[in-house]
Amino acid sequence: MSSSTFRRNSFRGVGCANRASSEGHVRRRGSSCSYISSGAQAEDFPVSLSQPMFTITLRFLLAIDLWLSKRLGVCACEESPWGSIRPLVRLVEFSGHVVPWLIGTVYTLLRGESAQEQEVMLNLALALLLDLLLVRVVKTLVRRRRPAQNRSDIFSTFFVERYSFPSGHATRAAMCARFLLAQLVDTASMRVLVVGWAALVSLSRLLLARHYVTDVGFGLAMGYCHYSLVERLWVTWDCLQDLLLMRLRERLNRVYGGLWMADWKH
């Protein structure tokens, strides 16, 4: 009985030793795999840092832009933290739209009492059209989508464009503010009022989550430069009259030439 018991114990010891050796082998394999994976991760880490510094900086700035724009969109909808003042902010937004500006400018141009006033209104109308054209070109080239929290309503469905960069309201506010300060406004109180209006229109785009911060910032810079272009291309009233008279003479000459050729054939 003792010899048989000894054999059983020896067989059990050999089996345990085999299992222990196999477990040790598995542990060694597992440790080697974890080492390889950690080594692969260590090799992947400098790959992200090997990108150009311009790309890393651009991504960092875009992340800040997204975060700040989301924090400022407090009037995006009625359920937002400042949703109760959304109608007031939308009224400020409408004051910077191109439609009321064009209607008011054309009306003042047609009802102008002096040639100087009509000249100013004419150049303001041309500046609004130029601003609208340049903003449309940049938006078509960039094709940046609007913020995700932007909510469509009746007003935005008919008048708001799909693309976000740059902000047309911001460019128009900066251009019109600089135009008014240079041509029409001459008192300190009115200057403060014009600058405050331009700032509120630009801020309304962020509060309503219509645009990102970079859209509004670039739009303000772009609108400021637009007036410099308008100032260089300023159309005087005498130049406009000469141009209209020249075009009228060309039309009359064409009509007279056509009538003379018709009489000659008969």
Predicted local confidence at residue 42, as pLDDT? 36
Active site residue 169: yes
Q: What is the mean pLDDT of residues 174-182?
A: 94
The confidence band for 241, taking pLDDT boundaries of 50, 70 and 90, is low
Q: What is the mean pLDDT of residues 185-204?
A: 93
Predicted local confidence at residue 31, as pLDDT? 36
pLDDT in tens, 136-151: 999 999 988 888 777 7
pLDDT in tens, 199-208: 999 999 999 9
pLDDT exceeds 60 at position 223 = yes
The confidence band for 233, taking pLDDT boundaries of 50, 70 and 90, is confident
Please report, for the chain, the start and end positions of each structural domain, with discontinuous segments joined by +.
76-235, 238-266
pLDDT in tens, 104-137: 999 988 887 788 888 899 899 999 999 999 999 9
pLDDT in tens, 30-65: 333 333 333 333 333 343 555 678 788 888 888 898
pLDDT exceeds 50 at position 258 = yes
φ, ψ at 145 (rounded to 5°): -75, 155
Q: Please tell me the least confidently modeled range out of 56-60, 92-96, 103-107, 225-229.
A: 56-60
Q: Are 103 and 126 in contact (CB under 8 A)?
A: no
Active site residue 211: yes
Give the residue, 158 or 199, on which the prediction is more confident: 199
Options 97, 211, 226, 266, the catalytic residue: 211
Which own/partner contact pairs does 125-129 have at CB distance under 8 Å and 24+ positions apart?
A: 126/230, 126/233, 126/235, 127/175, 127/176, 127/179, 127/226, 127/227, 127/230, 128/98, 128/101, 128/102, 128/172, 128/176, 129/102
The confidence band for 74, taking pLDDT boundaries of 50, 70 and 90, is confident
Q: What is the mean pLDDT of residues 243-259?
A: 59
Predicted local confidence at residue 264, as pLDDT? 52
**pTM, full prediction:** 0.68
Share of the chain above pLDDT 90, in %: 35
Cis peptide before 166 (omega within 30 of 0): yes
Options 25, 97, 169, 226, the catalytic residue: 169
Predicted local confidence at residue 215, as pLDDT? 92
